[in-house]
Amino acid sequence: MTVKSSFSPVASPDARVLVLGSLPGERSLAEQRYYAHPQNQFWALMSPVVGRDLSTLDYEDRLAALQAARVALWDVVATARRTGSTDATIRDAAANDLPTLLGRLPELRAVAFNGGKALSLGRALLGDRGLAVIALPSSSPLHTIGREAKQPAWNAIAAYLD
């Protein structure tokens, strides 16, 4: 197992929702981009939430569109040992400094966890801030229910963006 590290957060001070994954997968790490695997459904799931087809944009424009919609993006895990991309093999996880990021987002209303591992590792890091917690089915291709079944849970993010 090799040590893997997450990316810097993508967050503007006016963010209303923070979407947290667990740790970038192999393809994302290789490309240094969030949700780079072409079968990951993240960009397709977020498109109706922000009212823009993110899949057709280049990466920097995707990030800009999220920020314009007041969505921030990061991961719960800063570093961990992991074989491959599956969350089930995450070992020796060290958390990102979520409390500091949360302190820099004064308009934040909700934290959405992309998958069960992100939720189980990250929920305790939130503290008692009065933020809504949204548990999302993972956008990973390893979570095999279809995008249509996942979409309603992801659509719940939109209620916090107005």
CA atoms within 13 A of residue 2's CA, in its CB half-sphere: 7
**Which residue is listed with tokens 């990250």?**
122
Rounded (10°) angle between helices 42-50 and 59-68: 40
The one catalytic residue in 40, 96, 114, 155 is 40
Nearby residues of 42 by Cβ (< 8 Å), 6 or more positions away:
34, 35, 114, 139
3-14 burial code (b ≥16 CB/10 A, e <16): ebebbebbbeee
| CA gap 15, 134 in Å, rounded | 15
Whether 40 is catalytic is yes
Per the CB < 8 A criterion, the answer to whether 13 and 104 are in contact is yes
Q: How many C-beta atoms lie closer than 10 Å to residue 130's C-beta?
A: 8
What is the set of active-site residues?
40
